[in-house]
Structure 1
Amino acid sequence: MTSFARRAERVQPSAIREFLSLAGDPRITSFAGGYPDPTLFPMADLHAIYDGLLSAGNASALQYTASEGLPELRALVAARLTADGMPCGADDVLITQGGQQGLDLTAKLFVDAGDVIVAERPTFLGALIAFNPCEPDYRSVPMDEEGMDTDALEEVLRTTERVKLVYTVPDFQNPTGRTMSLARRQRLVELAEEYDVVVLEDTPYRELRYEGERLPTIKSLDTTGRVVHLGSFSKILAPGLRLGWALATPEVREKLALLKLAADTQNGTLNMRAAAAYLAGYDIEAHIAGMLPTYRHQRDLMLATMQEHFPAGTTWTRAEGGLFTWVSFPERLDVAAFQRDTLIPRAGIIIVPGAPFFADHPEGNHARMSYSGVPDERLVAGVRSMGELLRQALA
């Protein structure tokens, strides 16, 4: 009998991955994944870049490089972060395997078994998956239209021992799509300083804003170095590159780099060279701007179709960016059971039931729905069919 480490008890399958295994079936309409629209990938540009990198005499593109990440890429990322109000240099940046590795490494660095992580209610499921092997306890803080309720956060910090991290997705939060207001960002930094906790700011959707005012990052408001800022190329370039970054104080960044060295030595040199070549030779800001009308259209189409076909008593969020809406149904509806017994077999539709997004005290009457990457006709037909089945289930 294999005797697993205690931390393995907290390693559970992802509710998202469970359903995404169905997404390859052409009969299935998927509103489940947080996948960017693949029609928006800069395929021709990347094709040209990889052709150049794999040419004769360029073997260094396939060689080892620094564990912290390719120096050129770190410098280019640092320049973009500086332009976003976070002055830094290449030595302040760690290149990670997407944003997910940043979550994993930060938890390993700061969290011992029994320490407390404070998260939004609901929060990103992938973060919980990354944090769980560290055996934390969780406290949830409710959200409203301004994001995390910082008054409730203050009460948690005042009454809870061993809080190490406050985790937040401040821009177009996964799963709700909500954005934290400037006043609450400022208050979060004040509370972190007062109660001596680290803020982990996760920003994979930050640049996918298609309406409203761009807000400063939490890291840009940090004057004492207690905010760890994570970002990713997954939504602005391509997720298959598996490239993200962490920005932190030199002490924290160095320790994160040592943990990364232990985990995987480095990111793939070829993909880092490709990303650096793209940033240096192409206009990524124009590329991002070109994506936004598509996502805005997809959001508007999904919400308008829900408004027409979903039953009374159902509500949803209207994000100013990102890829998601958070749908809340009457409390008597068990969304996981509805999907398993009705939505998949009768309509061929998959969503993500909301319960796994709660760090504690899960609620089963919510769902995360993504509007990205589904053709218009299929999106409308899927939402309409889902509405009909919801009316029957709730009758």
Structure 2
Amino acid sequence: MNHFLTPVSFGVITERVVWMDYRFSDKVLALKPNAIREILKSASDPDVISLSAGNPAPDAFPIDEIREISERILRENPIGVLQYGVSEGYTPLRDTLKRYLREKHHIGTEEDELIIVSGAQQVMDLAAKSFLNEGDVLVCEAPSFVGALNTFRSYNTELVGVPVDPDGMNMEALEKTLDENPRAKLIYTITNFQNPSGVTMSLEKKKRLYALAKAHGCLIIEDNPYGDLRYYGEDVPAIKSFDTDGLVIYSGSFSKVLAPGIRVGYMVANKQAMSKMIICKQGQDVHTAMWSQMLCYEYMTRYDFEGHLDYLRKLYRVKADLCMKLLDEYVVPNGITYHKIEGGLFIWCDLPDQVDMLDFCKKLTERKVCVVPGNAFLTDGDLPCHSFRINFSTPTDEDLTAGIKIIGALAKEVIQ
């Protein structure tokens, strides 16, 4: 460290640092800021219409119930809320989730364990830390969730993307990718209402993915934060529901069905696989916040959790219908296409090949509308991309209407 000493009055010497050469680790040196988090800085401008965030609707939060629960547990069990807990999670919540997942989704066997994590993002980190060495390959959908991709990158993992069809990951491309990458260890997939594409993987493809993973000795991370937000069609069974070989690490979350600010997720995996991930969690945060875990437990057991999920589905169905209606009216006629959705919070829009997507998104920002450029969701952000993601859950109906009209007007100007 280079520094010099500056004398001040009364003979006191004050040391002042002028320069430091920060030598970052190889694991983080190449990491770039999360594109969505950076865009949200612009979206915080009150004059900007943000169609970029992935936040739940303001009307989605059960605020009164959360206030009641917080007051009660702080009154009746203050030490339990404020004291340390076990790394695996609050036992009553774990037991409740085990029953819920078995009864509703047929997830969990005697060979599985469930733990509570500090948001589903921690599942990706624990899995990567436990199973990936530097230079190992992780296979994922292209596009995929940028937060998970950055987590995997931090372990010097080689990311290989597989194209996404309207019914999920392209299985022929997946098989070719696994054949060509013998160091592939993990396959990451968001099987329901994928972020960012909105696509749901068909049951046929889920079974094919499982068979390919088994044949190539890979584990599957099945990320399912949006599965309870289906408002059209029939549920498709999770890959974990037919996992008889301990291949699937299943990730669930309360972020989209209760509140993201409480940072509570959960993970189901084979006990042997889970053992190392629990040790890794101990080194990260010791345990997930006790208040948050107790809050989730109380809400699931004392309140109408299923009724709340029904309310969310109705809320988002109305907003999704409005969004698709506006796109059909103002955007599609001007040359942009999009993928119809049956659930979740996102819609993926495609520009014609001749249109520069990044320039289009920049022009939208200049017109006070924020969307997320599609290359943010690729394993290599420098690859060609002609798509962008919009979110309809966060903005008001008025802002959503105004924002999509602006997108349509710009499309008419640029494309036609």
2:361 corresponds in structure 1 to 339
Corresponding residue to 2:208 among 183, 187, 190: 187
1:350 corresponds in structure 2 to 370
* Partners of 2:212 and 2:247 in 1: CA distance: 11
Residue 306 of structure 1 aligns to which amino acid in structure 2?
L
Q: Point out the more displaced range, 358-367 or 214-223.
A: 358-367
**C-alpha deviation, 1:28, in angstroms:** 1.2
Residues 159-206 of structure 1: CA distance to partner in whole angstroms, max 9, x if unpaired?
A: 222001111000000000000000000111111111110111000001
**C-alpha deviation, 1:282, in angstroms:** 1.0
Residue 329 of structure 1 aligns to which amino acid in structure 2?
L
**C-alpha deviation, 1:90, in angstroms:** 11
Retained in 2: the 8 A contact 1:354–1:363? no
Pairing 1:12–2:32 present: yes
Residue 387 of structure 1 aligns to which amino acid in structure 2?
G
Residues 96-117 of structure 1: CA distance to partner in whole angstroms, max 9, x if unpaired?
A: 1111111111111111111111
Residues 289-319 of structure 1: CA distance to partner in whole angstroms, max 9, x if unpaired?
A: 0111111111111111111111543111111
Pairing 1:304–2:351 present: no
Residues 326-346 of structure 1: CA distance to partner in whole angstroms, max 9, x if unpaired?
A: 001012323322232x21222
Pairing 1:323–2:345 present: yes
Retained in 2: the 8 A contact 1:49–1:277? yes
**Partner-residue secondary structure (3-state), 1:248:** strand
1:289 corresponds in structure 2 to 310
Change (3 A) 1:89 1:54: farther
* Structure ID, larger Rg: 2
**C-alpha deviation, 1:91, in angstroms:** 7.5
**Partner-residue secondary structure (3-state), 1:27:** coil
**Partner-residue secondary structure (3-state), 1:22:** helix
Retained in 1: the 8 A contact 2:51–2:392? yes
Residue 134 of structure 1 aligns to which amino acid in structure 2?
Y
Residue 160 of structure 2 aligns to which amino acid in structure 1?
R
Corresponding residue to 1:61 among 66, 71, 81: 81
Matches within 5 A, 1:24-173: 24-55=44-75, 58-83=78-103, 84-88=105-109, 92-173=113-194
Corresponding residue to 1:313 among 326, 331, 335: 335
Pairing 1:392–2:413 present: yes
Q: Which runs of 5+ in 2 are unaligned?
A: 1-20
* Partners of 1:312 and 1:89 in 2: CA distance: 55
Retained in 1: the 8 A contact 2:335–2:411? no
Q: Point out the more displaced range, 195-204 or 16-25.
A: 16-25
* Partners of 1:280 and 1:291 in 2: CA distance: 18
Q: Point out the more displaced range, 49-58 or 63-72.
A: 49-58
**Partner-residue secondary structure (3-state), 1:185:** helix
**C-alpha deviation, 1:89, in angstroms:** 7.0
Pairing 1:364–2:385 present: yes
* Partners of 1:101 and 1:173 in 2: CA distance: 18
**Partner-residue secondary structure (3-state), 1:167:** strand
* Partners of 1:91 and 1:168 in 2: CA distance: 20
Corresponding residue to 1:215 among 228, 236, 256: 236
**Partner-residue secondary structure (3-state), 1:367:** strand
Residue 349 of structure 2 aligns to which amino acid in structure 1?
V
* Partners of 2:63 and 2:109 in 1: CA distance: 30
Under a length normalisation based on structure 1, what TM-score does the superposition of the two structures give?
Answer: 0.96
**C-alpha deviation, 1:142, in angstroms:** 1.1
* Partners of 2:27 and 2:144 in 1: CA distance: 21
Retained in 2: the 8 A contact 1:71–1:90? no
Residues 212-239 of structure 1: CA distance to partner in whole angstroms, max 9, x if unpaired?
A: 1101101112110011000100011110
* Partners of 2:67 and 2:139 in 1: CA distance: 42
Residues 31-72 of structure 1: CA distance to partner in whole angstroms, max 9, x if unpaired?
A: 101111121111111110001111166322111010111111
Retained in 2: the 8 A contact 1:335–1:364? yes
Pairing 1:278–2:299 present: yes
1:260 corresponds in structure 2 to 281
* Partners of 2:249 and 2:72 in 1: CA distance: 35
* Partners of 2:383 and 2:305 in 1: CA distance: 39
* Partners of 2:202 and 2:106 in 1: CA distance: 17
Retained in 2: the 8 A contact 1:339–1:351? yes
2:17 corresponds in structure 1 to none
Retained in 2: the 8 A contact 1:79–1:89? no
Retained in 2: the 8 A contact 1:201–1:219? yes
Residue 137 of structure 1 aligns to which amino acid in structure 2?
E
* Partners of 1:197 and 1:90 in 2: CA distance: 18
Q: Point out the more displaced range, 358-367 or 7-16.
A: 358-367
Under a length normalisation based on structure 2, what TM-score does the superposition of the two structures give?
Answer: 0.91
1:224 corresponds in structure 2 to 245
* Partners of 1:8 and 1:29 in 2: CA distance: 33
* Partners of 2:318 and 2:262 in 1: CA distance: 26
**Partner-residue secondary structure (3-state), 2:279:** helix
* Partners of 2:80 and 2:154 in 1: CA distance: 36
